[in-house]
C-alpha cells in the first residue's frame, strides 16, 4: 500500500490497519465453509478486525496511560491474529502462499505497536 506524502504517522498507521482489516476479511471469506473453516474464520475475523478499531480508540486516548492500555489491547489482538493466520497456513485451509503477505504485515504491525508502547512508557 502506497502512503501519500504529507500524511502524519498516526494516519499512515491507521491506513495500514485498514489495509490489514480488509485483507483479513478477504482471507476469511476464502476459507472453506466447513466447521473448521467457520471456527477459525470466526476467531480470525474477531481479532483481525478489532486490532484496527482498537487503534482508532487509542488515537483518541484521554491520557498517556489510556493510550498505553489501548495499544496493549491492539498488540494482544494482533498477536492472536498472527496465531490464527498461522493456523490457516499450517492446516492448510487455503493455499499457504495466500497467507505470506498478511503474516508479514501482521508482524510489521506488531513491531510498530510494541515500539509505540515502549516509547509511551518512557514518557510516563
Q: Which of 101, 96, 85, 92 is nearest to 32 (CA)?
A: 92
Q: Is the pLDDT of residue 2 over 90?
A: no
Q: What is the pTM of this model?
A: 0.92
- pLDDT band at residue 3 using 50, 70 and 90 as cut-offs: very low
| Cα–Cα dist 104/77, whole Å | 15
Domain 10-122 is found in CATH 1.10.645.10: no
Give the whole-number percent of the chain exceeding pLDDT 90.
90
The DSSP secondary structure of 65-81, one letter per residue, reads: HHHHHHHHHHHHHHHHH
Assigned C-alpha cell, 22: 480488509
Amino acid at each position: 500500500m502506497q502512503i501519500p506524502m504529507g500524511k502524519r504517522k498516526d494516519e499512515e498507521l491507521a491506513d495500514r490497519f485498514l489495509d490489514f482489516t480488509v485483507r483479513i476479511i478477504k482471507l476469511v471469506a476464502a476459507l472453506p465453509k466447513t466447521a473448521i473453516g467457520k471456527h477459525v474464520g470466526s476467531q480470525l475475523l474477531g481479532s483481525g478486525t478489532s486490532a484496527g478499531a482498537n487503534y482508532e480508540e487509542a488515537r483518541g486516548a484521554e491520557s498517556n496511560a489510556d493510550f498505553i492500555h489501548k495499544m496493549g489491547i491492539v498488540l494482544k489482538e494482533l498477536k492472536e491474529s498472527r496465531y490464527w493466520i498461522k493456523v490457516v497456513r499450517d492446516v492448510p485451509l487455503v493455499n499457504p502462499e495466500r497467507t505470506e503477505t498478511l503474516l508479514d504485515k501482521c508482524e510489521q504491525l506488531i513491531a510498530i505497536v510494541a515500539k509505540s508502547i515502549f516509547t509511551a512508557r518512557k514518557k510516563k
